Amino acid sequence: MKWSISAHNTMRRCHRQLMFTQIVASHNARDVERREAFILKQLQYINTWQGSLIHEVLASSIPVALQTSRKINVEEMSLKAKELAMRQFAFSKAKLYRASGQTKSAAGDAFCALAEHEFDIPISQATVDRVFDAIKLCFDNLASQREFLQLLETGSRHKTEINMPFKLNGFTISANPDLFFISVRGKKIIVDWKIAESETSDYSKQLIVYGLALLSNGWWPDISATDIELYEVNLLKNYVRKHPFDADRVNEAEDFIFASTAEMTGLIGDIKYNDLESNEFEPANSPLTCAFCNFRPLCIQWLEKKGQSIENIFAVEKLLKTNSNDLAGTTNMIQGSLL
């Protein structure tokens, strides 16, 4: 089985979300429900979409810029992100993500599937403008981080969104750092870009898993924890945070993954789609989790199809009572606080 930080976070939010993402969703299955689950899995709300846009531009622009001029043109990346945002918004608005053959690979960087478009939640021009403002702010903040940019520009072997899988506890551990490079001092640098309003969120587990991946995947047989530096760069709040990484953090990462994979094994094990009993997976306890779950429509259908007493399940009862207007209002409230 495969494990990742995102799978762990999904498990923490809702066991049924884990079921849909890990067992049900399939891009090439003939089963209509499995294909639908795959489409819903790709949805994202606007507040997370703005982060995806910036990640995409950073991933495509940084290696090219450093290979040519050794300088990062932040203003150019900001304009590129705005242009990409307009193309992706148009793609999603037309619901082309549902068109036959319109996979991410076929559509290229224009691919986008916004939950607001899928669920017919109105998106005001003010909300779109806030996305553009956030994009500009993030790249302006990056330009202000001169010390970090110097570390980045003087480094070598820059790679973005690299795949560093390794094995642990019978699982394939998936690790995809946003950026990797080697500093002039020979340190192996891992950077995780964050586009988040909160300053209290703890992303240390994600970064130490990336550090463990670098130690475990065999790229550098003689590497030690002290050879690795981990950086969390929040472009929205404009801070660079270096996370400690040593033998204790390695043990912490291994213990965390062992505990998480053991729990995941207990939940899904080797269950296949045809053997799936959805009533064995508990829904979320938080109505907010349910209200903003990509799989909300499919989840209700499955519960009804299985003849479960959904009116006695608090979270799903909230699902059924949440109409599109209520959801739109809550969406606008959250967008206003996050963008």
pLDDT band at 278 (very low <50, low <70, confident <90, very high): confident
**Are the C-beta atoms of residues 161 and 136 closer than 8 Å to each other?**
no
**Are the C-beta atoms of residues 172 and 206 closer than 8 Å to each other?**
no
- Average pLDDT of the chain is 87
* Block residue for tokens 């080797």: 270
* pLDDT value of residue 289: 87
Q: Each residue of 310-322: pLDDT tens digit?
A: 443 444 444 444 4
196, amino acid identity: A
* pLDDT value of residue 1: 77
pLDDT band at 280 (very low <50, low <70, confident <90, very high): confident
Q: Each residue of 151-190: pLDDT tens digit?
A: 999 999 999 999 999 999 889 999 999 999 999 999 999 9
Q: Each residue of 197-242: pLDDT tens digit?
A: 766 568 899 999 999 999 998 888 889 999 999 999 999 999 999 9
Domain boundaries, the chain: 42-144, 283-338
Residues 40, 295, 325, CA angle at the centre, nearest 5°?
100
| Cβ neighbours around 33 below 10 Å, total | 17
What number is the average pLDDT over the span 28-37?
A: 89
Between CA 181 and CA 156 the distance in angstroms is 6
* pLDDT value of residue 184: 96
